[in-house]
Amino acid sequence: MLKGYTALFILTIGLTTGVFAQDPQFSQFYAAPLYLNPAFAGSSELARVGINYRNQWPSYPTNFVTYSGYFDYYFDEYNSGVGLLLLSDVEGLAGLKTNSVAMQYAYQLRITDGLIFRPGLEGSYVMRNIDKGNLVFGDQIDFDGQFKDVTDDAIINGDFRNNYFDFGAGGLLYSDRFWVGFSAFHLLTPMNSFIDGNSELDIKYSGHMGYKILLPTATNFNFPGGFRDISITPTVQYKQQGKFSQLDAGLYFTYEPFVFGTWYRGLPFKPVDGISNHESLIFLVGVSTNGLHIGYSFDYTLSKLGIATGGAHEVSIRYEFFMGDPRKPPKNVRKLPCPKF
């Protein structure tokens, strides 16, 4: 039976499993390729390992911290890529923890000499729990403001764990300058509630595309290999999960080995529950050398929460390398032109 003094607890659970029952996001979404779309598994046509770190609203105790690690590999003889994706996310005061492990497979199909299509699949296992030790309940505080033993309410003493299997899929179409992709996760709409077991996790949809524009000064014979990538790459990503939707739009400027980026996140003409969907401006700087890619981005908060939240800091590190018989290098296949950050 619910008691009045457990309102704080119910509010906290409501915030973490209702209002914020959305997947973590990365501002450097192309630096988290397997998280964005399983069709990216093996897309570098090399072995690839990477990590991502994001700390959102670090000035608030209700901050969100997300870690991701992945490895993928391309099997040239089978035109196939496989990937392993690990994710850990901690949300808010309740310490809602989500850990997941996912396996991915993508097949690379050449449609024409200038066009490639990659369908991809993902199977995952997710483990969620709440650290009740971080919570204080109304009946733990007496009239003198002193703390008492933890409540014996049945809900408080419940086992707040929720584990489930999940499934996702995606596709990617690209040429040497252009790409467009689509992905969908939580296709099994698993239950994600700790209380009534009747709350399904909404399917998350993502559409992403971009076009790489090489600048006329892209040739520099003082640069190793005789070519320096100097380009501008406009990109856009649209996300939808339940009643929540978001748009990321901006561009990357590459002057090899450096890359700079800026984009806007929001959808001001589509408010959620009367709240303006006007989130942040994002700024990026990165460097690439010898297969190593390092990026840092900062989200400047535009919403009513303001910059006092501390915005969001994000770091990505990725390394690509050849892991096969050096006498049999990969076939000359068309690589994705999309950014690495």
Average pLDDT of the residues in 278-302: 94
Residue 331 lies in a domain: no
d(CA 193, CA 255): 47
Q: Are 280 and 301 in contact (CB under 8 A)?
A: yes
Residue 56 lies in a domain: yes
Residue-level pLDDT at 107 = 97
Average pLDDT of the residues in 290-308: 90
Which of 88 and 222 is assigned the larger pLDDT? 88
Residue-level pLDDT at 136 = 62
The pLDDT of residue 157 is above 90: no
Highest mean pLDDT out of 19-28, 270-279, 299-308? 299-308
Report CA torsion sign: 266, 203, 53, 45: negative
How many domains does the chain divide into?
Answer: 1
d(CA 290, CA 124): 32
> What's the mean per-residue pLDDT of the chain?
83
Q: Which residues sit opposite 50 in a β-bridge?
A: 70, 318
The pLDDT of residue 38 is above 60: yes
Band (208; pLDDT cuts 50, 70, 90): very high
- Provide the token pair at 327: 């006498």
Residue-level pLDDT at 284 = 98
d(CA 68, CA 146): 40
Average pLDDT of the residues in 153-160: 59
Residue 337 lies in a domain: no
Q: What 3-state class would DSSP assign to 50?
A: strand
Residue 74 lies in a domain: yes
Q: Are 296 and 53 in contact (CB under 8 A)?
A: no
Spatial neighbors of 100 by CB under 8 A, at least 6 apart, are 85, 86, 87, 124, 125, 126, 127, 166
The pLDDT of residue 56 is above 60: yes
* Percent of the chain residues past pLDDT 70, beyond the cut: 76
Band (91; pLDDT cuts 50, 70, 90): confident
Residue 330 lies in a domain: no
Q: Are 94 and 134 in contact (CB under 8 A)?
A: yes
Domain holding 230, by residue range, is: 4-321
Least confident stretch, 19-23, 166-170, 273-277: 19-23
Report the half-sphere exposure of 115 (CA within 13 A, side-chain side): 4
Band (27; pLDDT cuts 50, 70, 90): very high
d(CA 43, CA 333): 11
CA-to-CA dists, residue 243 to 26, 42, 88, angstroms: 20, 32, 24
Give the model confidence (pLDDT) of 165-205 as tens digits: 999 999 999 999 999 999 999 999 998 776 665 678 899 99
The pLDDT of residue 125 is above 90: yes
Average pLDDT of the residues in 249-257: 94
The pLDDT of residue 334 is above 80: no
The pLDDT of residue 147 is above 60: no
d(CA 21, CA 242): 10
- Provide the token pair at 193: 């509630």
Residue-level pLDDT at 69 = 98
Residue 184: count of CB within 10 angstroms of its CB: 18
The pLDDT of residue 100 is above 60: yes
User: What's the pTM?
Assistant: 0.86
- Provide the token pair at 217: 């000064």
Residue 271 lies in a domain: yes
- Provide the token pair at 24: 């973590």
Which of 27 and 341 is assigned the larger pLDDT? 27
Residue-level pLDDT at 210 = 97
Residue-level pLDDT at 313 = 96
Q: What 3-state class would DSSP assign to 147?
A: strand
Band (275; pLDDT cuts 50, 70, 90): confident
CA-to-CA dists, residue 185 to 72, 266, 309, 333, angstroms: 19, 21, 29, 28
Residue 329 lies in a domain: no
Residue 334 lies in a domain: no
Residue-level pLDDT at 146 = 58
Question: For 19, which DSSP code?
Answer: I
Band (273; pLDDT cuts 50, 70, 90): confident
d(CA 142, CA 140): 7
CATH number of the domain that 292 lies in? 2.40.160.40
